[in-house]
Amino acid sequence: MTEAATGVATRTLEARYLGRVGYAEAVRLQTEARHRILNGHGDEKLLLLEHPSVYTLGRNADRGSLIATPEWLEARRVSVEETDRGGEITYHGPGQLVGYPILDLNPDRRDIRRYICDLQRILILTLADFNLDAEPGLPDRPAGVWIGPRKIASIGVHLRRWITTHGFALNVSTDLTYFDGIVPCGLSGVQMTSMEQLGEQATVEEVADRCSAHFAEVFDRRLDSVSAGIKT
Protein backbone atom coordinates (compact mmCIF):
# COMPACT_ATOMS: atom_id res chain seq x y z
CA MET A 1 0.00 0.00 0.00
CA THR A 2 1.38 3.42 -0.96
CA GLU A 3 1.82 6.45 1.29
CA ALA A 4 -1.02 8.19 -0.56
CA ALA A 5 -3.31 5.25 0.14
CA THR A 6 -2.53 5.13 3.86
CA GLY A 7 -2.35 8.88 4.41
CA VAL A 8 0.77 8.28 6.53
CA ALA A 9 4.19 9.59 5.52
CA THR A 10 6.61 6.66 5.57
CA ARG A 11 9.64 8.36 4.02
CA THR A 12 11.95 10.84 5.69
CA LEU A 13 12.97 14.06 3.97
CA GLU A 14 16.25 15.45 5.28
CA ALA A 15 16.08 19.19 4.69
CA ARG A 16 19.21 21.28 5.20
CA TYR A 17 19.89 24.98 4.85
CA LEU A 18 23.55 25.18 3.85
CA GLY A 19 24.09 28.92 3.46
CA ARG A 20 26.41 30.06 0.66
CA VAL A 21 27.67 27.14 -1.45
CA GLY A 22 29.65 27.21 -4.70
CA TYR A 23 27.88 25.81 -7.74
CA ALA A 24 30.32 22.96 -8.38
CA GLU A 25 30.12 21.90 -4.73
CA ALA A 26 26.32 21.86 -4.88
CA VAL A 27 26.44 19.62 -7.94
CA ARG A 28 28.79 17.27 -6.09
CA LEU A 29 26.46 17.09 -3.09
CA GLN A 30 23.51 16.28 -5.34
CA THR A 31 25.43 13.61 -7.24
CA GLU A 32 26.53 11.91 -4.02
CA ALA A 33 23.01 11.98 -2.56
CA ARG A 34 21.54 10.55 -5.76
CA HIS A 35 24.16 7.79 -5.80
CA ARG A 36 23.29 6.79 -2.24
CA ILE A 37 19.57 6.63 -3.03
CA LEU A 38 20.19 4.60 -6.20
CA ASN A 39 22.20 2.15 -4.12
CA GLY A 40 19.60 1.97 -1.35
CA HIS A 41 21.78 3.64 1.29
CA GLY A 42 20.40 7.14 1.70
CA ASP A 43 17.33 9.19 2.62
CA GLU A 44 15.80 11.73 0.29
CA LYS A 45 17.22 15.24 0.72
CA LEU A 46 16.24 18.83 0.16
CA LEU A 47 19.32 21.04 -0.08
CA LEU A 48 18.46 24.71 0.45
CA LEU A 49 21.17 27.27 -0.16
CA GLU A 50 22.46 30.38 -1.89
CA HIS A 51 25.08 30.51 -4.63
CA PRO A 52 27.78 33.04 -5.41
CA SER A 53 26.84 34.83 -8.62
CA VAL A 54 26.63 32.37 -11.52
CA TYR A 55 24.79 31.97 -14.81
CA THR A 56 23.76 28.38 -15.51
CA LEU A 57 22.84 27.05 -18.91
CA GLY A 58 20.40 24.15 -19.10
CA ARG A 59 20.36 21.50 -21.81
CA ASN A 60 18.05 23.60 -23.99
CA ALA A 61 19.90 26.88 -23.54
CA ASP A 62 20.80 29.09 -26.47
CA ARG A 63 24.29 30.46 -25.88
CA GLY A 64 23.06 33.67 -27.49
CA SER A 65 20.90 34.24 -24.37
CA LEU A 66 24.12 35.10 -22.53
CA ILE A 67 24.42 38.72 -23.56
CA ALA A 68 26.94 39.89 -20.94
CA THR A 69 30.40 40.66 -22.27
CA PRO A 70 33.49 38.99 -20.76
CA GLU A 71 34.40 42.36 -19.25
CA TRP A 72 30.94 42.66 -17.64
CA LEU A 73 31.22 39.13 -16.22
CA GLU A 74 34.69 39.83 -14.84
CA ALA A 75 33.70 43.17 -13.31
CA ARG A 76 30.73 41.57 -11.54
CA ARG A 77 32.56 38.34 -10.72
CA VAL A 78 29.94 36.17 -12.37
CA SER A 79 30.90 32.67 -13.49
CA VAL A 80 29.17 30.66 -16.23
CA GLU A 81 28.34 26.96 -15.86
CA GLU A 82 26.75 24.42 -18.20
CA THR A 83 24.44 21.94 -16.49
CA ASP A 84 22.46 18.79 -17.24
CA ARG A 85 19.16 20.24 -16.02
CA GLY A 86 16.32 21.07 -18.36
CA GLY A 87 15.49 24.60 -19.31
CA GLU A 88 17.34 27.63 -20.56
CA ILE A 89 19.74 30.11 -18.97
CA THR A 90 19.17 31.62 -15.53
CA TYR A 91 20.98 33.48 -12.77
CA HIS A 92 21.79 32.31 -9.24
CA GLY A 93 23.24 34.56 -6.60
CA PRO A 94 23.10 36.00 -3.08
CA GLY A 95 19.61 36.72 -1.81
CA GLN A 96 18.10 33.89 -3.83
CA LEU A 97 16.81 30.66 -2.29
CA VAL A 98 17.96 27.72 -4.39
CA GLY A 99 16.39 24.34 -3.69
CA TYR A 100 17.83 21.03 -4.84
CA PRO A 101 15.48 18.11 -4.05
CA ILE A 102 17.01 14.66 -4.38
CA LEU A 103 13.86 12.56 -4.36
CA ASP A 104 12.92 9.05 -5.44
CA LEU A 105 9.73 9.39 -7.49
CA ASN A 106 9.36 5.61 -7.65
CA PRO A 107 6.93 3.96 -7.68
CA ASP A 108 3.85 6.20 -7.70
CA ARG A 109 5.01 9.71 -8.75
CA ARG A 110 6.73 8.95 -12.06
CA ASP A 111 5.26 11.90 -13.89
CA ILE A 112 7.56 14.80 -14.81
CA ARG A 113 4.74 17.27 -15.37
CA ARG A 114 3.25 16.40 -11.98
CA TYR A 115 6.65 16.84 -10.36
CA ILE A 116 7.12 20.30 -11.85
CA CYS A 117 3.58 21.27 -10.85
CA ASP A 118 4.33 20.09 -7.31
CA LEU A 119 7.43 22.29 -7.16
CA GLN A 120 5.40 25.26 -8.37
CA ARG A 121 2.74 24.55 -5.74
CA ILE A 122 5.36 24.47 -2.97
CA LEU A 123 6.73 27.84 -4.02
CA ILE A 124 3.24 29.33 -4.29
CA LEU A 125 2.40 28.11 -0.78
CA THR A 126 5.69 29.51 0.51
CA LEU A 127 5.05 32.91 -1.02
CA ALA A 128 1.52 32.92 0.42
CA ASP A 129 3.09 32.70 3.89
CA PHE A 130 4.65 36.08 3.10
CA ASN A 131 1.42 37.62 1.77
CA LEU A 132 2.29 37.21 -1.90
CA ASP A 133 -0.26 35.79 -4.36
CA ALA A 134 1.61 33.85 -7.04
CA GLU A 135 0.62 31.73 -10.04
CA PRO A 136 2.20 28.71 -11.74
CA GLY A 137 3.78 28.85 -15.18
CA LEU A 138 2.23 25.74 -16.66
CA PRO A 139 0.38 25.23 -18.94
CA ASP A 140 0.16 28.67 -20.55
CA ARG A 141 3.56 30.02 -19.50
CA PRO A 142 6.98 28.40 -19.08
CA ALA A 143 7.57 26.47 -15.86
CA GLY A 144 8.22 28.67 -12.87
CA VAL A 145 6.23 30.95 -10.60
CA TRP A 146 4.87 34.33 -11.56
CA ILE A 147 3.36 37.32 -9.78
CA GLY A 148 1.35 39.20 -12.35
CA PRO A 149 3.49 39.60 -15.48
CA ARG A 150 6.78 39.15 -13.61
CA LYS A 151 8.63 35.95 -12.84
CA ILE A 152 9.77 35.39 -9.25
CA ALA A 153 10.99 31.79 -9.40
CA SER A 154 12.52 29.50 -12.01
CA ILE A 155 12.46 25.71 -12.24
CA GLY A 156 14.85 23.35 -14.03
CA VAL A 157 15.17 19.67 -13.18
CA HIS A 158 17.00 16.50 -14.10
CA LEU A 159 15.83 12.92 -13.56
CA ARG A 160 17.84 9.72 -13.69
CA ARG A 161 15.94 6.49 -13.05
CA TRP A 162 13.28 8.74 -11.50
CA ILE A 163 15.71 10.22 -8.96
CA THR A 164 15.58 14.01 -9.12
CA THR A 165 18.35 16.59 -9.05
CA HIS A 166 18.50 20.36 -9.66
CA GLY A 167 15.25 22.14 -8.79
CA PHE A 168 14.17 25.74 -8.24
CA ALA A 169 15.39 29.27 -7.55
CA LEU A 170 13.22 31.80 -5.71
CA ASN A 171 14.18 35.48 -5.66
CA VAL A 172 14.02 36.67 -2.05
CA SER A 173 16.28 39.75 -1.97
CA THR A 174 18.21 39.06 -5.17
CA ASP A 175 20.00 41.92 -6.95
CA LEU A 176 17.82 41.82 -10.07
CA THR A 177 20.31 43.83 -12.15
CA TYR A 178 22.27 40.59 -12.64
CA PHE A 179 19.44 39.37 -14.90
CA ASP A 180 20.44 42.16 -17.30
CA GLY A 181 23.34 40.00 -18.45
CA ILE A 182 21.08 37.29 -19.88
CA VAL A 183 17.77 36.68 -21.59
CA PRO A 184 16.18 35.02 -18.54
CA CYS A 185 14.91 31.53 -19.36
CA GLY A 186 15.34 32.43 -23.02
CA LEU A 187 12.23 34.62 -22.84
CA SER A 188 12.72 37.94 -24.59
CA GLY A 189 11.18 40.78 -22.62
CA VAL A 190 10.52 38.79 -19.45
CA GLN A 191 10.73 40.84 -16.25
CA MET A 192 12.03 39.30 -13.05
CA THR A 193 10.93 40.30 -9.58
CA SER A 194 11.73 39.43 -5.97
CA MET A 195 10.00 39.30 -2.61
CA GLU A 196 11.96 42.37 -1.55
CA GLN A 197 10.94 44.33 -4.64
CA LEU A 198 7.32 43.48 -3.84
CA GLY A 199 7.67 44.87 -0.32
CA GLU A 200 8.17 41.65 1.67
CA GLN A 201 11.26 41.64 3.87
CA ALA A 202 12.56 38.18 4.80
CA THR A 203 15.87 36.41 5.05
CA VAL A 204 16.68 33.52 2.76
CA GLU A 205 16.81 31.21 5.77
CA GLU A 206 13.34 32.29 6.93
CA VAL A 207 11.95 31.49 3.49
CA ALA A 208 13.84 28.16 3.50
CA ASP A 209 12.10 27.19 6.75
CA ARG A 210 8.65 27.69 5.25
CA CYS A 211 9.64 26.07 1.97
CA SER A 212 10.86 22.90 3.67
CA ALA A 213 7.61 22.57 5.63
CA HIS A 214 5.52 22.88 2.48
CA PHE A 215 7.82 20.48 0.66
CA ALA A 216 7.20 17.78 3.27
CA GLU A 217 3.47 18.51 3.10
CA VAL A 218 3.14 18.31 -0.69
CA PHE A 219 5.32 15.21 -1.04
CA ASP A 220 3.91 13.54 2.09
CA ARG A 221 7.26 13.15 3.82
CA ARG A 222 8.35 13.26 7.45
CA LEU A 223 10.61 16.31 7.81
CA ASP A 224 13.90 15.58 9.57
CA SER A 225 13.81 18.09 12.43
CA VAL A 226 17.47 17.49 13.31
CA SER A 227 18.86 18.86 10.06
CA ALA A 228 20.88 22.03 10.50
CA GLY A 229 19.21 25.32 9.82
CA ILE A 230 15.66 24.06 9.32
CA LYS A 231 13.00 24.45 12.00
CA THR A 232 9.82 22.37 12.14
Q: Which domains does the chain have, with CATH numbers?
A: 3-219 (3.30.930.10)
Confidence (pLDDT) at 229: 54
Q: Is 0.85 surpassed by the pTM of this model?
A: yes
pLDDT level of residue 139 (50, 70, 90 thresholds): confident
Catalytic residue among 185, 192, 204, 208: 185
The answer, yes or no, to whether residue 4 has pLDDT greater than 60, is: no
For residue 140, what pLDDT band results from cuts at 50, 70 and 90?
low
Q: Using CA of residue 215, residue 87, residue 82, residue 127, what is the dihedral sign? A: negative
For residue 7, the model assigns a pLDDT of: 56
Alpha-helical (H) ranges within 39-166 are: 70-76, 112-128
Specify the pLDDT at position 63.
86
The reply to whether 211 belongs to the active site is: no
CA angle 91–95–99, rounded 5-degree value = 70
Lowest mean pLDDT among 30-44, 99-113, 178-192, 201-215: 178-192
